Structure 1
Amino acid sequence: GKVQPGDFVVGGSNFGLGSSREHAPRVIAQCKVAAVLAKSFARIFYRNSINVGLPVLECDTSGIDAGDELEVDLARGLIKNLTKDTEIKFTPIPGFMRELLEDGGLAAHIRKHNGFKL
């Protein structure tokens, strides 16, 4: 089916490899995807995703199937699979990066704070 707002994209290893521009994560973010979950990410894709306000979480995705209902807690580093009643841990996103995501990305953060707020 089609991507719906709040859906999650679930991938494998080195997700986003070959994409050095912000276009790829920007398109995913514009689809109102809640987050991308993958075993690992290409570093430039990861950075670009945070810059455009798209949460990208490195975790074990082997227990997630299409259609599973998920709930993510960025601060605690926890994904709850409500369908299977399981939990997946990931390294919590650091405070400043969480703030960028909450503000909608780097450009929105700069506008909100009239410059960088570290």
Structure 2
Amino acid sequence: MKFSGKAHKFGNDVNTDYIISGKYKFKTLDMNELAKHVMEDLDPDFYSKVAPGDFIVAGSNFGCGSSREQAPLAIKHAHISAVLAKSFARIFYRNAINTGLPVLECDTDLIEAGDILDVDLAGGYIINRTKDIRLAVKPLPQVMIKILNDGGLAPHFRKYGGFNFD
């Protein structure tokens, strides 16, 4: 999987209530509606700035907080191609993979808001085209790449009848 887009940068400890505020989580199950409110507590204009393929870039502990899968699903429905962070909260990380949202651990210090990035998930690298530098990412296990390629865990299970490690 390869993606290209613009970086939208946030800091450390972005919790799931910042990703999608609790005031919306119980009002609707429509992910396209929830997507309009992604990151609005940190950047009220975020949804209007995002173009399909863009990236959320953050510091450490992205996705801390509740274990609800609405956060990665809302990000995915906001047309974000991947989240790049120094580290992720464990439950958010697994929910993201399970819902088909790529999440990659890397040093995000050399990525600024507005930088244009090319991400190669299988290759395990990011090209920051704005700064003409290559960044390594922590490689994902092959089964996780397969789950992401299939659109998430449920589609993967439907396709193979369980985990496919081949």
Q: Return the TM-score normalized by structure 2.
A: 0.68
Query: Which AA in structure 2 matches 1:101?
Result: L
Match of 1:30 in 2: 77
Match of 2:140 in 1: 93
Q: Deviations over 1:4-43 (max 9, x none)?
A: 2100001111000003111100100111211100111000
Structure 1 residue ranges without an equivalent (≥5):
none
SS at match of 2:49: coil
Q: 2:116 aligns with which of 69, 74, 79?
A: 69
How big is the shift at 1:2? 2.1
C-alpha distance in structure 1 between counterparts of 2:161 and 2:78, whole Å: 27
Match of 1:43 in 2: 90
Query: Which AA in structure 2 matches 1:73?
Result: D
Give percent identity, aligned residues only: 63
SS at match of 2:135: strand
C-alpha distance in structure 2 between counterparts of 1:61 and 1:19, whole Å: 24
Match of 1:107 in 2: 154
Query: Which AA in structure 2 matches 1:44?
Result: I
C-alpha distance in structure 2 between counterparts of 1:115 and 1:59, whole Å: 30
Which of 1 and 2 has greater Rg? 2
Kindly indicate whether the alpha-carbon contact (under 8 Å) linking 2:99 and 2:151 is maintained by their aligned counterparts in 1.
yes
C-alpha distance in structure 2 between counterparts of 1:59 and 1:6, whole Å: 18
Structure 2 residue ranges without an equivalent (≥5):
1-47
Whether 1:58 and 2:105 are equivalent positions in the alignment is yes
Query: Which AA in structure 1 matches 2:92?
Result: F
Moved over 6 A (4+): none
| Aligned residue pairs, count | 118
Match of 1:12 in 2: 59
C-alpha distance in structure 1 between counterparts of 2:140 and 2:163, whole Å: 19
